[in-house]
Structure 1
Amino acid sequence: MHHDSPSASRTHVLVLLKAMDVLQLLSEGDEFRLRDVATTLGLSKATCHRILGTLVFGGLVEQTSRGHYRAAAYAGRGVETLHTDDHMLRSTSRDAMAELRSATDENVFLFSHRDGRAHCLEVLDGRFASDITVRAGGTLPMHLGAAPRVMLAGLSDREIWDYQSARELLDTSSELSVATVYADVARTRRTGVVISCGEVDYKGMSIGAPIVDTSGCTIGAISVGTLTAATSPERVAELVPWVVRAAEQASAAVEPPAA
Structure 2
Amino acid sequence: MADEAADDGGIEILSKAGAIIDALTETKVLTVSAIADAVEEPTSSTYRLLQSLIAMGWVDPAPARGTYRLGLACMQIGGVLEDSLDVRGLALPRMRALRSTAGVAALLCYRRGTRAVCVERIEGHDVRSVAMQVGDSLPLHVGGAPRALLASLPTGERRAVVDELLAGGDQQYPVPPAADLDAELRATRDRGYARSDQDVTIGIAAFGSPVFNHRGELVAAVSISGLRERLVGREDELAALVVATAADISADLGFEGAGRG
Q: 1:153 to 1:181 in 2, by over 3 A?
A: same
Q: 1:164 to 1:110 in 2, by over 3 A?
A: same
Q: Show CA shifts across 1:89-111 (max 9, x none).
A: 10110111011011111101001
One-letter identity of the residue aligned with 1:226? G
Q: Which residue of the partner structure matches residue 248 of structure 1? A: 247
One-letter identity of the residue aligned with 1:243? V
Deviation at 1:86, TM superposition (A): 9.8
Q: Determine the C-alpha separation between the residues in 1 that align with 2:127 and 2:85.
A: 23
Q: 1:140 to 1:159 in 2, by over 3 A?
A: same
How many percent of aligned residue pairs carry the same amino acid? 27
Deviation at 1:158, TM superposition (A): 1.6
Deviation at 1:130, TM superposition (A): 2.2
Q: Report if aligned partners of 2:169, 2:175 keep a CA contact under 8 Å in 1.
A: no
Q: Show CA shifts across 1:31-69 (max 9, x none).
A: xxxxxxxxxxxxxxxxxxxxxxxxxxxxxxxxxxxxxxx
How many corresponding residue pairs? 172
Q: Report if aligned partners of 1:86, 1:112 keep a CA contact under 8 Å in 2.
A: no
Deviation at 1:216, TM superposition (A): 2.0
Q: Show CA shifts across 1:2-40 (max 9, x none).
A: xxxxxxxxxxxxxxxxxxxxxxxxxxxxxxxxxxxxxxx
Deviation at 1:184, TM superposition (A): 1.4
One-letter identity of the residue aligned with 2:188? T
Structure 1 segments unaligned to the other structure (5+ residues): 1-84
Q: Which residue of the partner structure matches residue 7 of structure 1? A: none
Q: Which residue of the partner structure matches residue 236 of structure 2? A: 237
Deviation at 1:149, TM superposition (A): 0.7
Mark the structure with the bigger radius of gyration. 2
Q: Report if aligned partners of 2:205, 2:232 keep a CA contact under 8 Å in 1.
A: no
Q: Determine the C-alpha separation between the residues in 2 that align with 1:251 and 1:129.
A: 29
Q: 1:212 to 1:122 in 2, by over 3 A?
A: same
Deviation at 1:196, TM superposition (A): 0.9
One-letter identity of the residue aligned with 1:251? S
Q: Which residue of the partner structure matches residue 161 of structure 2? A: 163
Indicate the SS of the match to 1:214: coil
Structural RMSD (CA): 2.1
Q: 1:232 to 1:186 in 2, by over 3 A?
A: closer
**Superposition map of 1:7-156 within 5 A:** 88-156=86-154
Q: Determine the C-alpha separation between the residues in 2 that align with 1:125 and 1:253.
A: 23
Indicate the SS of the match to 2:226: strand
Structure 2 segments unaligned to the other structure (5+ residues): 1-82, 256-261
Q: Determine the C-alpha separation between the residues in 2 that align with 1:154 and 1:160.
A: 8
Give the TM-score normalised by the residue count of structure 1. 0.62
Give the TM-score normalised by the residue count of structure 2. 0.61
Residue 206 of structure 2 corresponds to residue 206 of structure 1: yes
Q: Report if aligned partners of 2:165, 2:175 keep a CA contact under 8 Å in 1.
A: no
